[in-house]
Amino acid sequence: MTLDTALERALREQTPLVWINPQRAPGIPAAGPAPSQLAEAESRMGRAGELLADLFAGAASSPQGIESPLQSADALASCHPLLFKDSGPLFLKRDDMLPVAGSIKARGGFHEVLALAERIAQQQGLRTDPGHLLGAEARALFSRYTVAVGSTGNLGMSIGIFAAALGFRPVIHMSVDAKQWKKQRLRDHGARVVEHTGDYASAVEAGRREAGADPLSHFVDDERSMMLFLGYAASARHVVQQLRDAGRSIDAGHPLFVYLPCGVGGAPGGIAYGLKQLLGDNVHCFFIEPVASPCMLVQLASGSDHPISVHALGLDNRTEADGLAVGLASPLVAPLMRTLLSGVMTIADDDLFRCLFTAQQQLAATLEPSAAAALSGPGSLLASEAGRRYIDALAVAPSDITHLMWSTGGSMVPAHEHAAFLARGRALLDSEPGWFWRASSDAAAHGRLP
């Protein structure tokens, strides 16, 4: 592994930082999915929305299928008027409000399960329209099959709940320290939860191994699944239309900056890829990772074609952002991000809770710690020397940049747990009243904003 010395030191010391990708280049990686695959994914997500409307009360369908609101987040600028005095508008994409699963993982999970159901039905000569997939014959067929996944929680919920509703037998492999309420919610919906003593990677490997021994078992591979990736990528067209409806057109003089929490990389990678297909070089995507689990940053910054774990830097991959507690980046997604991604920012756990509390106070958004990472993006970029240089190189007015933070989950968190999150965030802010977003001017230094 080869890393810049200052960057390696900052990573080892778990210093929050802003890293601008030196390998970024115009265009779309040739190895990625074709536009026709994205079009089919968009169509399938519409069908998934129809199924959800029939299966779950309150899961209303729309022409886009599974979608979430876009909310103005300009109120966040009031937290630091000096930093944001010349910035463009802020928006929050509310995937925490997605139906049934309450997280971004609904996009990939529902897409893959529906693709599987349609394939099995087609192979057996059954019709694949939503009405027939909910019929007794299809349910009897699906009941012979197991759908398995290894998950930190949110992907498991999207796979388990939707698969069970269609008649499949879901098996969710999770680490023992994954959130208990997520495990219980899965069990309540009829999924079998298998707990493992290791971390996320151990749960994935165990699930992959068990499913491989059963010819009637389908393993949803969060690290390698193109179906998951396409489900996430299918969100791009609708969010661009939402921005247009809000009066924000995207072009060379009015670029879009997108901030995405990153775990293994499938969800943020798919969204980034879909947006790049539509907007080209007018969209700039940044991932946000915990300081203990910066797997995508480590992989990309190493320049290696071989998997590099955060453990190689002495990091323990332990973070309150359970959905982002991943030590090894997706081998499917990392190569696609090598030239596509603009950069990566890291965030400390305490700052996640500060952002979570701020989201509730300023935006009435109920987020979980991993989702709150997105809120750190604009401030971290604007406050850092590296971020300011990046913006200056675009030769656009800061006020013409649209900032889009992607909220990835939180609405399903039990009220007592969210109250504890808020209490921690409030206490941290009370102990440091001048805090807002932290950033580093380079990989070696960081400090509090003025």
**368-414 pLDDT tens trace:** 999 999 999 999 999 999 999 999 999 999 999 999 999 999 999 99
**Contact (CB, 8 A) for 21 and 343:** yes
* Strand positions, DSSP E, 206-332: 217-220, 256-261, 283-290
Over residues 278-296, the mean pLDDT reads 97
Q: Average pLDDT over the chain, rounded to whole?
A: 91
pLDDT range class, residue 100, cuts 50, 70, 90: confident
The per-residue pLDDT for range 349-366, each reduced to its tens digit, is 999 999 999 999 999 999
Q: Tokens 């190689």 correspond to what residue? A: 312
**Residue 309, Cβ neighbours under 10 Å: how many?**
17
Over residues 273-292, the mean pLDDT reads 97
pTM of the full structure? 0.94
**Contact (CB, 8 A) for 88 and 154:** no
**Contact (CB, 8 A) for 296 and 329:** yes
The whole-angstrom separation of Cα 422 and Cα 127 is 48
The per-residue pLDDT for range 122-179, each reduced to its tens digit, is 999 999 999 899 999 999 999 999 999 988 789 999 999 999 999 999 999 988 878 8
Token representation of residue 203: 């749960």
Cα–Cα distances in angstroms (integers) from residue 20 to residues 2, 204, 287, 347, 391, in the given order: 16, 30, 11, 15, 11
- The residue with greater pLDDT, 73 or 85, is 73
- How many helices and strands (H and E) does the chain possess? 19, 13
The whole-angstrom separation of Cα 123 and Cα 92 is 41
The per-residue pLDDT for range 12-32, each reduced to its tens digit, is 999 999 999 999 999 999 899
pLDDT range class, residue 207, cuts 50, 70, 90: confident
